[in-house]
A and B are shown apart, each in its own frame.
Chain A
Amino acid sequence: MKPKVAFFDFAGCEGDQLQIANLEEEILDLLGQVEVVSFREVMKEHSDDYHIAFIEGSCTRQQDEERLKQIRKNASVVVAIGSCATIGGINSLKNYQNLDTVKKIVYGENASLFDTYLARPIDAVIPVDAYVHGCPMTKEEFLHVVKSLLLGKKPEIPNYPVCVECKKNENVCAFERGEFCIGPVTRAGCNSCCVNEGTKCWGCRGMVDNPNENSQKEVLIKYGLSVDDAIGKFKLYFGWEKKK
């Protein structure tokens, strides 16, 4: 019997679920290995009988915790997909401001109609068994994690910085181009995709477990940048990690 899988989304852009559609013809191979029983974005049917739950998006409201706990109860394996789910992602930018002010900026006198609390990753609410990092996640890493889970193996997720991959790709260092790159402390696994395209690492895969702070400071000093500058850049994706 094929393992039953389900997809769920919380506060996010649904760009990670889109990467599954972007598997193109490989979707057919995937469907040969698993039975999808719930996926609101693509199917009408729904069942609570599933083995693996994939969750996209952050938890940003108290009321959504109940739904997450129910998913945890139903599934034997929970996988967080995409930055919003794995680290809180861009949603946690609002965590640095007073939440009443945040609500007023957007909804003015109707602010009280909109419920929100500090944006957080899924593992701040329920235990998570596997992570597919990235904003968006890459379809290659998603397939790697799915294959690993189906084989009962632990997925291999790099715990070294993006700089390692970036150097292998022989990119000119983004700092040399005047960019403020977060690659020195960000978890690799993206093949330094953004620097390859002429921009910089924004930090979407979260921090490595043991960032080399001294080395980061040396880089900042070399390019005349301050720790405050760095903290400002870290806020883009590391809002929950740094604040908790």
Chain B
Amino acid sequence: MTTNKNLEVNVHHVTRVEGHGNIYVNVKNGIIEKCEWAIPEAPRFFEAMVVGREWNELHHITSRICGICSIGHTLASLKATEAAMGISISDQDLKLRKIALHAENLQSHILHVGFLVLPDLMGVGSVIPLASSNPDEVKIVLGLHRLANDMSNLICGRTTHPQRLIPGGFSKIPSIKQLLTLRDNLQASVPALQAVADLLKSLAPKIPDFTRETEFIALSNPDEYALYDGKIASTDTDSAPVKDYLSYTKKLGS
């Protein structure tokens, strides 16, 4: 397709995302002259921060990579420490860790859909005006967000930068009674989750139809939806064990 379109996009600080990005695009007579995605945020040097620290502090440090997904960062570090030192964990601890990841996933997805994406689909700048224009929907989102955080609290002792997750398992675990209450609350949340799904379905036509050739990489496990463990799977190549992750990723400078 030929066009003689001119276009200039200059987004300084992309909003409603976790992390910082700028976008610069310049098109002259249909030819792209510049197309840049800049990460202006200050580097923090975690790989250097952990040098010389003790093995049982590393997960505490790397959790701080991201406050939104600190449970994932904590568990990734614990798995690495445990693999390096030959530490195994019990089946019960494994199950609790998986629940912890589901809790974080639920929290993060509700935040993403309800706080970050929904305003775009509703044509407003943030969730703040929605609180008065669509109070029922906002309350459903807030209620689900609370449930997900209650779940993280129960398993991890905190929602952000979890405390109970330690090398070898847990420093403290919930009671059976607490877990049963959590199960009841999760089952009772299905109508609210359905309401969010219905709302998004009704707004789906507003999502731009845009696809391009992309390689998708994720963990994959034949037995379950792989969040905690699995092999690295790619839409372009064969799967590989997690320890080979460097052959799938390239970090600037490495």
| A contacts, CB < 8 Å to B | 9-19, 21-22, 24-25, 27-28, 31, 36, 39-46, 57, 60-61, 64, 89-91, 93-94, 97, 101-103, 105-111, 113-116, 135-136, 193-194, 196-199, 202, 236
Contact = CB atoms under 8 A, between A and B. Distances in A.
B27 interface: no
Contacts of B142: 24-25, 27-28
A36 B126 CA distance: 11
Given A197-B157, A198-B163, A13 B45 contact: no
B30 interface: no
* Nearest 8 Cβ contacts at the A-B interface: A15-B67, A198-B171, A43-B126, A197-B157, A107-B253, A44-B125, A108-B253, A198-B172
Contacts of B119: 43-44
Contacts of B46: 106
B149 interface: yes
Q: Which of B143, B158, B253 has the largest number of chain A CB atoms within 10 A?
A: B253
Contacts of A10: 42
A202 B162 CA distance: 13
Contact of B15 (A21, A44, A89): A44
B10 interface: no
Given A25-B139, A27-B142, A94-B48, A15 B70 contact: yes
A41 B161 contact: no
B44 interface: yes
Nearest to A180: B54
Interface string B115-155: 11001000001111001000000110011011001000000
A198 B60 CA distance: 14
Contacts of B41: 11
19 contacts: A13-B65, A15-B70, A22-B160, A25-B139, A28-B142, A41-B17, A42-B126, A43-B119, A44-B126, A45-B125, A91-B44, A94-B44, A97-B51, A102-B45, A102-B48, A105-B48, A136-B160, A199-B164, A199-B166
B126 A106 contact: no
B163 A199 contact: yes
Contacts of A102: 45, 48
Given A41-B16, A44-B16, A90-B64, A136 B161 contact: yes
Nearest to A111: B253
B160 A60 contact: no
A185 B78 CA distance: 28
| Interface magnitude class on chain B | 35 or more
B68 interface: yes
Q: Which of A16, A61, A105, A236 has the largest number of chain B CB atoms within 10 A?
A: A105
A194 B162 CA distance: 9
Interface string B23-52: 000000000000000000111111111010
B70 A109 contact: no
Contacts of B138: 28
B77 interface: no
Given A9-B20, A106-B43, 6 more contacts: A15-B160, A41-B15, A93-B61, A101-B48, A102-B48, A105-B51
B233 interface: no
A202 B60 contact: yes
B4 interface: no
Interface in B1-26: 13, 15-20
Contacts of B15: 40-41, 43-44, 46
B155 to A, nearest CB: 11
A202 B66 CA distance: 18
A41 to B, nearest CB: 7
A198 to B, nearest CB: 3
Contacts of A107: 43, 252-253
Contacts of A39: 126
Nearest to B254: A108
B62 to A, nearest CB: 10
A193 B172 CA distance: 13
Contacts of A18: 67-68, 111, 160
